Chains A and B, each alone.
Chain A
């Protein structure tokens, strides 16, 4: 019988997965957590997630996948506070545009700098990531500490999941968000984000994160993620 209690199928190490996980935690929704390896393409897995993608939420017999779509679904299925998208149609569009910006103009370069094996390509990815981050910071509304100002939203989750493991990009590629001029806002913002209980729940220990990214940094990962990342795409 289809259950009202959602199940989250996700991998502990996936920042995309953390987006859905954090959203459920923020809403105070009771859910079942299923540790998942989305690269194990079993028939059972495709029954749960038809395109084989994680994170995937199973709720009332249906599957929702794609991390951004999961965040919107969670906000609409459980419309309690905190709202992940605001009420006003333009503000909602604003959150969606800047979430889209994170997905297209920042995340691919975060993967790119790790997955690319030549210094030239790595440097280009680092610069592209910084350009994307600078634009996001400029779009941040005044009155902080969140992207929309006073109110937490999906735009914070979109970047804040990856932003919380930038130490990993620094470790492997010397990537740092500068602490001056147009980047100053980043550090206050990420500190506030990471201090949230939901982030503290999902973030694995530093060493585990570093170990998880090692095969990608050393060019030996064979996953779809690695292949896609080399092409500047993320699944």
Chain B
């Protein structure tokens, strides 16, 4: 079998989880094949590539890696130049701890805000989101602009796709991160400005109109993704 140095990246253009891996591939300067899939069409071919039927999946040398954070760590270890994770064990654990915080405390209220129909639940999600963003902000390197300092790392990549979608939360739910130099979020806003204009973010983001359009189905309760279902049922995200 022919050696296959070039990985294949299976993604969906609108998916923030897949965008994380796309950003990582670009940050590393890796040459890869890009394949856009419809993850709602669970064909046998697709399930043989992606056992959970989800994007993102990275296939390299005939083997599949899935889960965005696991893909990023794989990319970092397989292509060690321009490291995404630091070398020291505690610094690595710190990045993983705050990536886990994003997964458990920031991503769920993002979706809850859009999917819940009751205003009270939407307001709870907004409150939760701001609280947890503040916790994350306090964990940031004071100078930055990125989470750990002057270099982009795992936490930046895990948060970026959601942060650039915050305008959707404003559009549909009136959610906003407070601005102003005196705001407790000023460090977060500094981070946001830096990550938003980064090449890898720009190249992997769709237009505002495209995002507004695709997220409408969450707000009118027609969303069929596993994420939407989990939020409606109040269970953990896949």
Residues of chain A having any CB pair with chain B under 8 Å: 51, 59-60, 62, 64-66, 69, 72-73, 76-77, 89-90, 92-93, 96-97, 100, 104, 108, 231-234
Contact = CB atoms under 8 A, between A and B. Distances in A.
B73 interface: yes
B74 A89 contact: yes
B236 interface: yes
Contacts, number: 67
Interface stretch (B64-72, B159-167, B198-206, B211-219): B64-72
Given A90-B60, A93-B65, A232 B96 contact: no
Interface string B83-106: 000000110111011001100000
B77 interface: yes
Contacts of B61: 90
A192 B3 CA distance: 37
Nearest to A69: B96
Contacts of B77: 89, 92
Interface of B: 60-61, 63, 65-67, 70-71, 73-74, 77-78, 89-90, 92-94, 96-97, 100-101, 233-236, 238
19 contacts: A62-B94, A64-B90, A64-B97, A65-B97, A69-B96, A73-B90, A76-B92, A77-B90, A90-B60, A90-B74, A93-B70, A93-B74, A96-B73, A97-B66, A97-B67, A100-B70, A231-B235, A231-B236, A232-B233
Contact of A97 (B70, B92, B96, B100): B70
A70 B91 CA distance: 13
